[in-house]
Amino acid sequence: MVEGKGIMERLRKGNKAGSFQNRDDSIQEALERLRCEEDIIDIPPPLKSQIVHESTVKMTDFLRNYVPKHIFLTEGELMIANADGSVVNHVIHLDDITRIRHSNVDDFLERRAEYSSPFEEECLAEFDETVLEIVTELLSSSFGRSFSFKFEDKSECKTWIHNMQKLKKKASIRAHVKGTSRIRTYQYHLKLFYDSDFLQYFVAGFIFLNFLTNVLQSEITPTTDNTSTAALFDNLDLCFTIIFTVELSVNIAANWFRPFFQSGWNFFDLTVVGKSLISLF
């Protein structure tokens, strides 16, 4: 019953050691056997305190037919249970997921949707916004399988996509720092804080306030010789510089080294904040 899983597990170990041969043939054999096996586990559902989100859905089977299921989302796993949610039949680790999207929407159309043309709008109209599709890593506990879930409405599907993408990012970071030093663990928590919606909205608000201040300064300063007004704008500029310097420092600490310098926006922030600091001295 677990012959296909056995082949995939050997492939995973061989992949880490860089030793296995005839990889494609072995993978194909494993996938064919997995399609013939039940591939079912029976474990209790997660505790209420562990559940981030849950829904009753219809899931496609190997024959692409929809069957009723109940799914649970926790901090690190997606659990697929029977229709009443009493028994979990399959567990997908979030860090094993490679893609989370509406069913069959390819990357090109997703990127081009904002520049919509009649042809692209027609293509996008064919996709079902109530269907969530996830794709797993080939050499993972889910063996490269894809799963499609149909929800009652598109808002519920959108909520699941948002929650899964956010939790997958956290799971990937946890997997990356697992077994590393305490410094890496602190960096992981700092990155979670920096990537949080709260901090991003907080910084965006100050960027907008800084823009408004610059507009007011350009309008007021040329028409007044009031030294107190000039001092007010100087103090505001100092406050904004301090805030953006702290934000940049957190960004550098959370993403050091390669992830920080791989982003063009980070180079831009570094240049702008650097020029602001130089102008103060």
- What Rg value do the Cα atoms of the chain yield, rounded? 25
pLDDT of residue 69: 96
Region for residue 211 given its phi and psi (left: phi exceeds 0; alpha: psi -120 to 50; beta: otherwise): alpha
Neighbours of 229 (CB within 10 A): 14
CA 190 and chain centroid, separation: 16
pLDDT of residue 213: 93
pLDDT of residue 38: 45
Q: Contact, 91 vs 71, CB < 8 A?
A: no
Q: In what order do the strands lie in the sheet with 88-93?
A: 88-93, 77-81, 66-73, 53-60, 146-150, 131-136, 97-102
What confidence tens digit (pLDDT) does each residue in 221-259 have?
Answer: 655 566 788 888 889 999 999 999 999 999 999 998 888
Neighbours of 75 (CB within 10 A): 13
197: helix, coil or strand? helix
What confidence tens digit (pLDDT) does each residue in 11-37 have?
Answer: 555 554 444 444 556 555 555 555 454
Distance CA 173, CA 192 (A): 9
Q: Contact, 171 vs 126, CB < 8 A?
A: no
The residues of the chain scoring below 50 in pLDDT are 1-4, 16-22, 35, 37-38, 105-116, 119-124
pTM of the model: 0.59
